[in-house]
Amino acid sequence: MRISDREKLQLARMKAILKRAYQKVPYYKKRFDAAGVRPSDIRRLEDIKNLPFTTKTDLREGYPFGLFAVPRREIVEVHTSSGTTGKPTVSGYTRRDIELWGEVVARALTMCGATKESVIQNGYGYGLFTGGLGVHYGAQRIGATVIPISAGQTKRHLDIMQDFGSTILTCTPSYALYLTEAAEEAGINVKKLKLKAGCFGAEMWTDRMREEIEKRFHLIALNIYGLTEIIGPGVAQECEQKNGLHIFEDHFYPEVVAPETLEPLPDGEKGELVLTTLTRDGMPMIRFRTRDITTLRREPCKCGRTLVRMDRITGRTDDMLKIRGVLIFPYQIEKALLEIKGVEPHYQIIVTRPRHLDEIEVQVETSKKIFSDEIRHLEEIRKKIEKHIETAIGLRVKVTLVEPRTLPRSEGKAKRVIDKRQL
């Protein structure tokens, strides 16, 4: 779609959803009134900056159904986000929302090369988590064959992958990596697998991790993005150019704001992603603060899509670690350590505070070859990693090398940080 045409469509949709949110959801009416704005004040897309944000806390206060814009009987499905602290946030879908969800995930899977001929092995968890059913609806919308295997059951995954000739794998990147190891261990000839592409998301990962998965499984690994509060997976998807994720902005209007001041930032600057749903029926989200750190880019993409791109997520404003007063993201450590040869993409960051001073320990797995080398050589590598991380984050860390396959593997999202500080 031409950008000018899309902007017209976005504006019409934005005006309509703001009006509906104001009329149907008391929470929005109260917030808009308190900020002294009316939906009719929004005349251009940029005017959205005058509206108040919506946060996870607002959703929790309205728990469970307080932000629904339709009577509960119109809701045909609910999902919740994994609430690690307090109540989870609830998302309600009408029949039209489920159709929309299928549509946007179908677009995403198509960008990974999915067609009616594809066999999609869906390793995202089915349940209240949106990953499993989101991919399921998208695959069915395309008419592909979907295998709802869900997360876990590694042996079964490998059997089915071989027996059913799966062409597309969908799961978290850390689980994909785990599957490659398990396949290797089971002596499976990965070259005989039919896998062509992987659609991986629901957690942060690096390009180095992508290379590892691609090399070990002989497929193209692409990044999918989404969140329960907005719809689930299918908010944005990387194309084969691998230069950022195209946001389906005819349905989800993106902004990036400075995390401290919450002022809108121009394209190309890094900040917190804020999303407004333009077409959600059951639960419109107006300026939802995702907490995800990214950058928007509007330079044309070689794939021909005119949709804005966002960089892969490089952190969360609520995952920021404050170490001796310095703000760091776990991603920075991951990136630095994976730049070193012989280091496996399995690591854990442990933060402690002995004697009132924060200390970071990074436990890193090395390859079998390196670990069987002489002790002296190991010590050299250890020091090299310490130095490399220190240069990257500006803080001294303690690195411990651990034997291959000793750190816990996850079947869902990997837990990278263990904060043992008593704050």
Residues in contact with Zn ion by the rule CB under 5 A: 239, 241, 301, 303, 305
Smallest distance, Å, CB 303 to Zn ion?
Answer: 3
Q: Which is nearer to Zn ion, 247 or 360 (CB)?
A: 247
What are the φ/ψ torsions at residue 211 (nearest 5 degrees)? -60, -45
Task: At 128, list the tokens.
Answer: 């209240």
Q: Which is nearer to Zn ion, 192 or 302 (CB)?
A: 302
Q: Which is nearer to Zn ion, 301 or 351 (CB)?
A: 301
Smallest distance, Å, CB 272 to Zn ion?
Answer: 23
Smallest distance, Å, CB 248 to Zn ion?
Answer: 12
Smallest distance, Å, CB 99 to Zn ion?
Answer: 25
Smallest distance, Å, CB 333 to Zn ion?
Answer: 29
**Beta-carbon contacts of residue 376 (< 8 Å; ≥ 6 apart):** none
Q: Which is nearer to Zn ion, 119 or 221 (CB)?
A: 221
Q: Which is nearer to Zn ion, 145 or 306 (CB)?
A: 306
- Which residue in the block uniquely carries the two structure tokens 């396949």? 183
Smallest distance, Å, CB 34 to Zn ion?
Answer: 40
Task: At 214, list the tokens.
Answer: 């691609």
Smallest distance, Å, CB 246 to Zn ion?
Answer: 6
Q: Which is nearer to Zn ion, 140 or 241 (CB)?
A: 241
Q: Which is nearer to Zn ion, 41 or 207 (CB)?
A: 207
Q: What radius of gyration do the chain's Cα atoms show?
A: 22
Q: How far apart are CA 335 and CA 208, in angstroms?
A: 8
Q: Which is nearer to Zn ion, 221 or 328 (CB)?
A: 221
Smallest distance, Å, CB 105 to Zn ion?
Answer: 17
Contact, 388 vs 336, CB < 8 A?
yes
Other Cβ atoms closer than 10 A to 375: 7
Smallest distance, Å, CB 116 to Zn ion?
Answer: 23
Q: How far apart are CA 269 and CA 256, in angstroms?
A: 8
Contact, 110 vs 80, CB < 8 A?
no
Q: Which is nearer to Zn ion, 303 or 351 (CB)?
A: 303
